[in-house]
């Protein structure tokens, strides 16, 4: 086991500065090592750089930003040149891994460089497929049933064998890509389309979360799945082998949190005013808060920082809110760093962080 002794900081400001210095050191070492390396066939090869986002919000380092832009364009050229992408998206991928480059890497880049038109163009090129707005790609979304047709989709079509119609929390990543594209759309028509799809589809998940005693596992073409059949479970774990067994409520909440569901719902609540989105976010936070109170809390104990800042008790919306989850010292440090090292201030960017990749 690798062990490293960590000297405690004497105050929060000092801890925040150390945190940012560590991020800068990591980023510079990565630039020195990888700046001239060609892209590979790995689907999420840019995801590691999303950890630098707090640093770039407080210090927009030009050298790091140029590296990210260069990586963005080299990845695009590689996957297009090797014909793994067509029309801005994978020819065929599943909802979990196929969306990661766009939601995580391009999403983080857009948040630190919101006026970069090439990032916006690449996000738009992917998002236009989500709601069937590209004439060159078969339909991915069933507007009548408010479901995606398949777990596997791409510019070349869909996989339609039995079981593929299952919609998992990973499909919420498609919503997140639409919301990213809507922030810098090619046209106003595109913005409205992306917001409509995000609201319609995420609304199905919000309703399912609020309707059942248990949290949902998936959506079927006509209903909600609260328990897996053996065949559905085998299919899901065939590409999600690291997922928990989804029996415990906290595991189901973490599964949704891994696709950034809490942030998604809170953004849609703030944009639309529909209370169901806030209620769904709070429903997911309940088991995560209980897990967070444990000394060895898992994913639920380390990924609640971002959703907290959308909560009405922290955003000044004047809505009566339940007690927000407790904030541990590690979370406070990260939030303070994002806010420019002001210990109790909320982050200043509109949307910080993406989902969980692997």
Percent helix, strand, coil in the chain, to 5, is 55, 5, 40
Return the CATH fold of 22-311+328-338. Answer: Glycosyltransferase (1.50.10)
* Calpha distance 248→53 (Å, rounded): 32
The pTM of this model reads 0.82
Residue 26: exposure state from Cβ atoms within 10 A (0-12, 13-18, ≥19): middle
Q: Which residues contact 119 (CB under 8 A, 6 or more apart)?
A: 72, 106, 109, 110, 113, 184
* Calpha distance 176→130 (Å, rounded): 11
Q: Where do the structural domains in the chain lie, given as residue ranges?
A: 22-311+328-338
Proportion of the chain above pLDDT 70, given as a percent: 78
Instruction: Reply yes or no on whether the pLDDT at 164 is more than 80.
Output: yes
Six-digit token string for 291: 């897990």
Q: How far is CA 289 from CA 87, 162, 235, 283, 299, in A?
A: 42, 37, 30, 10, 11
pLDDT for the residue 232: 65
pLDDT for the residue 330: 40
Reported as a single tens digit per residue, the pLDDT across 204-213 is 999 999 998 9
φ, ψ for residue 321, nearest 5 deg: -125, 150
State which H helix or E strand residue 27 sits in: helix 12-34
Mean pLDDT, residues 159-166 taken together? 93
**Half-sphere exposure of residue 324, counting CA atoms within 13 Å on the CB side?**
17
Rounded to the nearest 10°, the torsion over CA 244, 248, 249, 252 is 20
pLDDT for the residue 339: 43
Reported as a single tens digit per residue, the pLDDT across 19-64 is 999 999 999 999 999 999 999 999 999 999 999 999 999 999 999 9
φ, ψ for residue 93, nearest 5 deg: -155, 165
φ, ψ for residue 286, nearest 5 deg: -60, -55
* Calpha distance 312→171 (Å, rounded): 26
Q: How confident is the model at residue 146 (pLDDT cuts 50, 70, 90)?
A: very high
Tell me which of 19-33, 63-77, 272-286, 339-353 is least confident. 339-353
pLDDT for the residue 28: 98
Residue 257 in contact with residue 298, Cβ under 8 Å?
A: no
Residue 335 in contact with residue 324, Cβ under 8 Å?
A: no
DSSP 351: S
φ, ψ for residue 303, nearest 5 deg: -120, 25
Sequence length of the chain is 358
* Calpha distance 106→46 (Å, rounded): 9
DSSP string across 108-134: HHHHHSTT-HHHHHHHHHHHHHHTT--
Q: Return the number of other C-beta atoms located less than 10 Å from residue 256's C-beta.
A: 27
Six-digit token string for 227: 């328990």
Residue 120 in contact with residue 181, Cβ under 8 Å?
A: yes
Q: Which residues contact 46 (CB under 8 A, 6 or more apart)?
A: 68, 71, 72, 75, 101, 104, 105
Reported as a single tens digit per residue, the pLDDT across 191-235 is 999 999 999 999 999 999 999 899 999 999 999 999 877 766 666
Tell me which of 36-40, 129-133, 156-160, 296-300 is least confident. 296-300
């Amino acid at each position: 086991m690798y062990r490293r002794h960590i000297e405690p900081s004497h105050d929060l400001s000092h801890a925040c500065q150390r945190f940012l210095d560590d991020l800068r050191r990591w980023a510079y070492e990565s630039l020195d090592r990888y700046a001239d390396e060609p892209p590979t066939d790995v689907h999420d090869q840019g995801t590691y750089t999303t950890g630098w986002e707090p640093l770039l919000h407080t210090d927009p380092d030009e050298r790091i930003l140029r590296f990210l832009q260069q990586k963005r364009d080299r990845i695009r050229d590689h996957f297009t040149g090797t014909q793994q992408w067509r029309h801005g998206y994978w020819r065929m991928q599943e909802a979990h891994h196929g969306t990661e480059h766009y939601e995580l890497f391009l999403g983080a880049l857009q948040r630190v460089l919101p006026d970069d038109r090439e990032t916006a163009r690449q996000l738009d090129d992917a998002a236009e497929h989500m709601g069937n707005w590209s004439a060159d790609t078969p339909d991915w979304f069933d507007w009548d049933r408010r479901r995606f047709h398949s777990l596997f989709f791409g510019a070349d079509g869909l996989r339609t064998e039995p079981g593929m119609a299952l919609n998992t929390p990973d499909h919420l990543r498609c919503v997140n890509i639409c919301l990213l594209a809507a922030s810098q759309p090619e046209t106003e028509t595109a913005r409205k389309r992306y917001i409509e799809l995000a609201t319609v589809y995420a609304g199905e998940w919000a309703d399912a979360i609020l309707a059942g005693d248990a949290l949902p596992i998936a959506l079927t073409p006509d209903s909600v799945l609260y328990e897996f059949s053996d065949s559905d479970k085998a299919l899901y774990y065939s590409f999600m082998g690291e997922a928990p067994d989804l029996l415990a409520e906290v595991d189901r909440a973490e599964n949704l949190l891994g696709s950034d569901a809490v942030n998604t719902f809170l953004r849609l609540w703030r944009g639309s005013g529909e209370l169901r989105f806030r209620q769904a976010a709070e429903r997911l936070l309940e088991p995560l808060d209980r897990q967070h109170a444990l000394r060895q809390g898992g994913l639920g104990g380390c990924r609640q920082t971002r959703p907290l800042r959308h909560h009405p008790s922290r955003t000044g919306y004047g809505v009566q809110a339940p007690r927000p989850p407790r904030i541990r010292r590690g979370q406070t440090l990260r939030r303070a760093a994002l806010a420019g090292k002001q210990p109790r201030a909320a982050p200043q960017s509109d949307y910080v962080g993406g989902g969980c990749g692997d």
